[in-house]
Structure 1
């Protein structure tokens, strides 16, 4: 057993503090911020979580999770939907209200292309 005290990477939330968490993919918010989310909820604060993508372009996950050797676009959408459900379940367990969980649904690994299009349109 490790006897070294663990140092928090964030300050203890103040009572009724509001926290906004941005995560690139589902489960990143939990991996990076579960402790902060729990502490904020414990002290009566409010947490909102914004998930930028659905994390739906992970081919190996589709193949392994669904035992599908040649995934179709529908299979990737299914992965994204399942990851959303897992995120909702986990964040509700941590005490975050469902209405405070926002999925933007941007394409996984596709934000660079969207930005390029925006810049092209701006420069025209």
Structure 2
């Protein structure tokens, strides 16, 4: 985690709890946030999640965030909201079958999806995948 992200995380943690939500910070998915995979609330106007990808193969949210970066979306981070990942903090474990799926999905993203997205949405040099 880069220094800037740590600073924002610490500031967010110190924010006093309120009975309402407000915007804590506005950011775009560019450095230092260029590897973000935020959970966001959107409408039907936003580009759809690519259902050809799976969570097990990783990179599925990265493609969605790449599009939103290319389209120059802003993310409004709320000060009094958070998400809990069930069943909890992930622990790293070696899984040969999953590693193979990750390799296949990464190759599919690079060979098919990113070229499609470039045609549909264009390109922005600061947008990482």
Measured against the shorter chain, the TM-score band is under 0.3
Name the structure where helix makes up a greater proportion of residues: 1
Taking structure 2 as the reference length, the TM-score comes to: 0.24
Taking structure 1 as the reference length, the TM-score comes to: 0.25
Rg bigger for which structure? Answer: 1
Name the structure where strand makes up a greater proportion of residues: 1
